[in-house]
């Protein structure tokens, strides 16, 4: 534990502003058309940890599995169990998302299980948020936004890709037939929010709190 600095960064109780706080989504909730083609919800203030290590090393993969209950996914994979998900970001990089407030304890457990190994665990919870999009027109909305092929033949549920989105970059996760998640960097969140409103205008956009 002494080789890296790890400490609890989230206060037990304090005023928190997620990356889309300024958009006032809770006030917009329920005001859109009931027939909206796209429903947007921010899954905010979750625990996000970046894990880097050698996925082929059984010790690394085993420790991650032991602590998270999830197998390290291979290329473009996303595994979900309850409120915990583990996503492949690159050949030596994964994104672990856990319920907000549990990330410190999980990081500690991971570090205990990984003692002596070369890896990286970084809390990035404040730096990104998840925008969940659902509804019958989400696929078309995504087609307007990314050059990646979002057809279910190419992008089935359980796949996650880092790609371009409008003029920025983000991660798209397919979590249910008509449900998708965008992992959005905090500083780009307003741009993505503006883009999604503009691009979904013709389908109708509703907000869920």
Partner 1 sequence: MSQINRLSRGGRIDRSQPLSFSFNGQTYQGYAGDTLAAALLANGVDVVGRSFKYSRPRGIVAAGCEEPNAVLQIGSTEAATIPNVRATQQALYAGLTASSVNGWPSVNTDLMGILGKVGGGMMPPGFYYKTFMYPQNLWLTYEKYIRKAAGLGRAPKENDPDSYDYMNQHCDVLVVGGGAAGLAAALAAGRSGARVILADEQEEFGGHLLDSRETLDGKPASEWVAKVLAELAGMAEVTLLPRATVHGYHDHNFLTIHERRTDHLGETAPLGQVRQRLHRVRATRVVLATGAHERPLVYSNNDVPGNMLAGAVSTYVRRYGVAPGKRLVLSTTNDYAYRVALDWLEAGLQVVAIADARPNPKGAWVEEARAKGVRIMTGSAVIEARGSKRVSAACVARIDAKAHKVTSSGDWLDCDLVASSGGYSPVVHLASHLGGRPVWREDILAFVPGEGFQQRVCAGAVNGVFALGDVLTDGFEAGVKAATETGFKPVSGELPKVFGRHEEPSIALFQVPHDKSTARAPKQFVDQQNDVTAAGIELATREGFESVEHVKRYTALGFGTDQGKLGNINGLAIAARSMGISITQMGTTMFRPNYTPVSFGAVAGRNCGALFDPVRYTALHSWHLKNGAEFEDVGQWKRPWYFPKRGEDMHAAVGRECKAVRDSVGILDASTLGKIDIQGPDAREFLNRVYTNAWTKLDVGKARYGLMCKEDGMVFDDGVTACLADNHFVMTTTTGGAARVMQWLEIYQQTEWPELKVYFTSVTDHWATMTLSGPNSRKLLAEVTDIDLGKDAFPFMTWKEGLVGGVPARVFRISFTGELSYEVNVQADYAMGVLEKIVAAGKKYNLTPYGTETMHVLRAEKGFIIVGQETDGSVTPDDLNMGWCVGRTKPFSWIGWRGMNRQDCMRENRKQLVGLKPVNPDKVLPEGAQLVFDPKQPVPMSMVGHVTSSYFSTSMGYSFALALVKGGLKRMGERVFAPLADGTLIEAEIVSSVFLDPKGDRQNI
Partner 2 sequence: MLNIFCPHCGEQRSEEEFHTAGQAHIPRPLDPSTCTDEEWGEYLFFRDNPRGLHHELWIHAAGCRQYFNVTRDTLSYEIFETYKIGEKPSVTAKAKSAPLTSRTAGAKA
Q: Provide the binding-site residues for partner 2, judged by CB under 8 A.
A: 75-76, 89-91, 93, 147-148, 161-164, 169
Is there a contact between 47 and 100 (Cβ–Cβ < 8 Å)?
yes
Of 80 and 122, which has the nearer Cβ to partner 1?
122
Q: Which residues contact 183 (CB under 8 A, 6 or more apart)?
A: 95, 128, 129, 130, 170, 171, 172, 173
Per DSSP, helices labelled H in the chain are: 25-28, 58-68, 103-113, 138-145, 189-200
75 contacts which partner out of partner 1, partner 2, none, CB within 5 to 8 A by kind? partner 2
Q: Using CA atoms, how far apart are residues 53 and 176, in angstroms rounded to an integer?
A: 29
Q: What phi and psi values does residue 178 have, to the nearest 5 degrees?
A: -110, 20
Is there a contact between 18 and 126 (Cβ–Cβ < 8 Å)?
no
31 contacts which partner out of partner 1, partner 2, none, CB within 5 to 8 A by kind? none
- Is 34 a binding residue for partner 1 by CB under 8 A? The answer is no
CB of residue 92 to partner 1, shortest distance in Å: 7
Among 85, 134, 146, 175, binds partner 1 (CB under 8 A): 146
**CA atoms 185, 188, 191, 193: torsion sign:** positive
Give the x/- contact pattern for partner 1 in 46-85, rule: CB under 8 A: ----x-xx--------------------------------
Contact footprint for partner 1 (CB under 8 A): 2-5, 7-11, 14-19, 22, 45, 50, 52-53, 92, 118-128, 140, 143-149, 151, 153-154, 166-168, 185-191, 194-195, 198-199, 201-202
């Amino acid at each position: 534990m002494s080789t890296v600095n790890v400490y609890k960064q989230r206060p037990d109780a304090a005023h928190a502003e997620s990356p889309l706080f300024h958009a006032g989504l809770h006030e917009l909730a329920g005001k859109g058309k009931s027939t909206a083609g796209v429903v947007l919800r921010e899954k905010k203030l979750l625990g996000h940890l970046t894990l880097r290590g050698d996925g082929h090393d059984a010790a690394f993969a085993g420790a991650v599995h032991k602590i998270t209950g999830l197998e390290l996914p291979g290329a473009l994979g996303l595994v979900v169990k309850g409120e915990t998900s583990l996503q492949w970001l690159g050949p030596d990089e994964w994104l672990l998302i856990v319920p907000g407030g549990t990330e410190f304890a999980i990081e500690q457990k991971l570090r205990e299980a990984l003692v002596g190994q070369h890896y990286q665990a970084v809390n990035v919870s404040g730096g990104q948020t998840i925008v969940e999009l659902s509804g019958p027109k989400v696929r078309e909305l995504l087609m307007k936004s990314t050059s990646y092929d979002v057809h279910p033949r190419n992008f089935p549920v359980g796949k996650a890709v880092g790609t371009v989105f409008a003029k920025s970059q983000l991660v798209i996760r397919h979590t249910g037939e008509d449900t998708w998640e965008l992992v959005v960097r905090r500083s780009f969140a307003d741009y993505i929010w503006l883009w999604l409103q503009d691009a979904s205008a013709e389908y109708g956009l509703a907000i869920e709190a």
